Structure 1
Amino acid sequence: MLSRYQTARLRVLEIARDAEPFELNALLQRVTELLTPAVVENLPPYFQGIASLADAERWLELMLSESRLFAVQDKDSGSILGFLFVYIEDEHDAHIGYLLGEAYWGQGLASELIRGLIALAMQAQEWSKLIGGVDKTNQASSNLLRKLGFVERPAVEPSATEPSAIDSQVAFYEYHLSRP
Structure 2
Amino acid sequence: MVTPAVTAHLPEDLVVTGAAEPAAWLARLAERSTVCTVRDPDALVGFLTLGAGSETELMLGYLFAEHAWGRGYASELVAGLLAHLRAKDWRGKVTGGVVAKNPASAKVLLKSGFERAETDPNGVTFYRIAL
Q: Compare 116-125 and 95-104 and name the one that shifted more.
A: 116-125
**Deviations, residues 94-117 of structure 1 (Å, cap 9, x unaligned):** 001101111111111110011001
CA distance in 1, matches of 2:77, 2:86: 14
Letter of the aligned partner of 1:71 in structure 2?
T
- Greater share of residues in strand: 2
Q: Percent identity?
A: 32
Where in structure 2 are the equivalents of 1:111-126 lying within 5 Å? 111-126=75-90
CA distance in 2, matches of 1:86, 1:109: 17
Count of residues paired in the alignment: 130
Q: State the partner residue of 1:70.
A: 36
CA distance in 1, matches of 2:58, 2:110: 17
> Given the alignment of the two structures, is residue 38 of structure 1 paired with residue 5 of structure 2, yes or no?
yes
Q: Which runs of 5+ in 1 are unaligned?
A: 1-33, 156-166
Runs of 4+ in 1 over 2 A off after TM superposition: 49-52
Distance 1:50 1:84, change over 3 A: farther
Q: Residue 60 of structure 2 aligns to a residue in which SS?
A: strand
> Given the alignment of the two structures, is residue 168 of structure 1 paired with residue 117 of structure 2, yes or no?
no
What is the RMSD computed on CA atoms of the aligned residues? 1.6
Q: Which runs of 5+ in 2 are unaligned?
A: none
Asked if 2 retains the 8 angstrom alpha-carbon contact of 1:68 and 1:86, the reply is yes
Q: State the partner residue of 1:14.
A: none
Letter of the aligned partner of 1:38 in structure 2?
A
Residue among 28, 49, 56 paired with 2:17 = 49
Asked if 2 retains the 8 angstrom alpha-carbon contact of 1:121 and 1:177, the reply is no
Where in structure 2 are the equivalents of 1:120-159 lying within 5 Å? 120-155=84-119
Q: Residue 71 of structure 2 aligns to a residue in which SS?
A: coil
Shift, 1:127, TM fit = 4.4
Structure-2-length-normalised TM-score: 0.89
